[in-house]
Chain A
Amino acid sequence: MTTPTDDQRRVRVVLVDDHRMFRTGVQAEIGATEETGVEVVGEAADVDQAVAVVTATRPEVVLLDVHLPGGGGVEVLRRCAALSADPDRPVRFLALSVSDAAEDVIGVIRGGARGYVTKTITGPDLVNSIFRVREGDAVFSPRLAGFVLDAFASTDAPPVDEDLDRLTQREREVLRLIARGYAYKEIAKQLFISVKTVESHVSAVLRKLQLSNRHELTRWATARRLV
């Protein structure tokens, strides 16, 4: 990397949403590359288009709508799994949806998205989230943190539990603060840890949510009549 600063400041993004109006709006909000550093390199309106565009452009971050014609965001994630697993130039997915229903949120996170924000997010926050996801960190909206806490609430076990599926006390604390609307920086200040540590806690939560605790999640979802 000869020009690390320049590389750090630019992020290539693909927009996936079936509403042209919405894509235009997001483009207008974040697409001014000189100011925000976000370069929108492609757009797609359904699953097939999305897979084609993402494969062709290899963006760093994909802003993915949850409800799409052709199978939804989860389908895109499934068909792009190889791209997002690429160790050299991974494609990260950030779900951007109008829905904050639990089944949508948990569905795409388990599908492999690195974060979930709702469409009420402001432009600067969205840009911020895109950069954070590019770095491999997780972005949780307060609501999402609430869902995760809810999902793991039934396993309120001691933190010394050997079961890796459980959230540690610290991770739970971090999630609580996110759910209370704290920014990562504020959480770090509150808990006397570094921002990096906060981010690694959040990533750990994401990993657990994605890969494990199927049993608890199923039970949780069944109790809420989601499945």
Chain B
Amino acid sequence: MRYLIIAFALLVISCKNEKSQKAETPEQKEKVNEVNVYTHRHYESDQKLFALFEKETGIKVNVVNASADELIQKMTAEGEQSPADVLITVDAGRLVRAKQKGLLQGVESQMLEINIPEHLRDKDNHWFSLTKRARVIVYAKDRVKPEALSTYENLTEDAWKKKVLIRSSNNIYNQSLLASMIAHKGEEEATKWAKGIVDNMARTPKGNDRDQVKAVVAGEADVAIVNTYYIGKLLNSKNPEEVTAGEGVGIFFPNQSERGAHINVSGAGIAKYAPNKENGIKFIEFLSSPAAQKVFADSNYEYPVNASVPASDLLQSWGTFKEDVLPLSALGENNKKAVLIFDTVGWK
């Protein structure tokens, strides 16, 4: 029994510790001066930015990492007691979903409105984009002439039979790409496109974007649909084989004569019940500032959203391109339809 009591006492003590950290009156909470960030992004560059923000403002950044879907579930479950101030995702669709579920709130910030173009933020200011990446076609430089490429739709032609690679439909970037097609052309056309891609796939989807590029370079297929920043990562990899893979492909921005290449964003919004709302706004403002945007652009090969910041040299070397200016909220609104279509056409 003695041991039971000791064990129980230990448990109580450990609870106590938690309590003493958590039991704060609102005034004390202010004094802590922190911002709680739920984020899907976990790059070293982000860590750098958070540290920079802490240094500049004295506001402590607490981070919870998980996938956006899991974070949204967590915030839903926590409800009003949620400690989250800021939600960061790597996809606009998820931000829209968070808004639809009433997890975010609109904020007034002139700085954000100046820094971030209109089509890259929510119309009610529930969320703001922080970085862009384009979902492009890459092709094997030695076998494919870029002139043969034109649009995403073109890849469903017979000429590309068994020559196309793209990752699983579990992947959010694919879901958003299909969602954009639903928004532009309707469900029927989108289904036809997805079916066409499945027919032209060189293999069943597997691996990540980098794996698709490697397989193209190895000759398993001629083209792949991937995000731009992964090419940047390959080219700057420590692994010489990855650099070779990155060098073996050319980048083609599709649909340039019409709606433009599909883009997706990382973005952030203020949580509905944010206990440190002001700090949260400061935090997002900081991330949209030229200094922070430059870090995003240079170390993670993403396109800055702040027009005053140039893309990194590497990205500039790929040329400028016309981007799809579809309001990003469409990606969230059509996400579920996209997932269902993928299942129906057998896109694994």
Tell me whether A and B are bound partners.
no
